[in-house]
């Protein structure tokens, strides 16, 4: 999906410009657990940042469609199944992020677990919950790293 690459590239450009992740204080534990791509993080990418630079352009859409929607009063970037994209970030800057397919609660096919690394060398990971709209079932999730 092109959106996944757009998200990663826009975060990379933001990091180049500001030497930090967008809305870094609000990322919490995004290096240990996925967060939804919404609220302050997305607002910073859309131009609500110190220099008012628009790092990405997302078209507004209706709920349950791909694009920019208002979700609980904040902007959210939804995939084509109408679910918010998920983000993990390398906040400790070691260029390694735990593979979310191995996290507690994840339902991952054995074949995927046997061929997937536990740590992924990246500064950001982005994924969609896929057609079933459940981020914990990995058989249909669409990811930026595989």
* DSSP per position, 36-67: ESBTHHHHHHTT-STT--------B--TTSSE
**Residue 13 or residue 111, greater confidence:** 13
Q: What is the pLDDT of residue 113?
A: 61
Neighbours of 108 (CB within 10 A): 18
Contact 31/21 with Cβ under 8 angstroms?
no
Residue 108: DSSP 8-state: -
pTM of the prediction?
0.91
Render pLDDT for 42-54 as a digit per residue (tens, 0 to 9).
999 999 999 999 9
* 8 Å CB contact between 60 and 67: yes
Give the three-class secondary structure for 138. Answer: coil
Q: How would you list the strands of the sheet with 124-128, edge to edge?
A: 35-36, 86-89, 124-128, 142-143
pLDDT, average across residues 52-74: 91
Domain that holds residue 120: 2-143
- Please give the tally of structural domains in the chain: 1
Q: Please give the backbone phi and psi of residue 125, each rounded to the nearest 5 degrees, phi first.
A: -125, 135
**C-beta neighbour count of 89 within 10 angstroms:** 24
């Amino acid at each position: 999906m092109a959106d996944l690459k757009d998200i990663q590239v826009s975060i990379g450009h933001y990091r180049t410009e500001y030497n930090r992740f967008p809305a870094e204080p609000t990322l919490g534990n995004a290096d240990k657990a996925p967060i939804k791509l919404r609220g302050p993080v997305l607002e910073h990418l859309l131009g609500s940042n110190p220099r008012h630079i628009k790092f990405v352009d997302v078209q507004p859409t209706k709920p349950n469609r791909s694009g920019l929607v208002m979700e609980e009063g904040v902007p959210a970037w939804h995939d084509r199944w109408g679910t918010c994209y998920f983000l993990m970030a390398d906040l400790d800057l070691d260029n390694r992020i735990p593979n979310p397919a191995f996290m507690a609660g994840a339902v991952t096919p054995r074949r995927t677990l046997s061929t997937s690394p536990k740590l992924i060398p990246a500064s950001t990971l982005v994924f969609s919950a896929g057609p079933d709209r459940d981020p914990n079932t990995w058989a249909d999730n669409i990811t930026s790293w595989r």
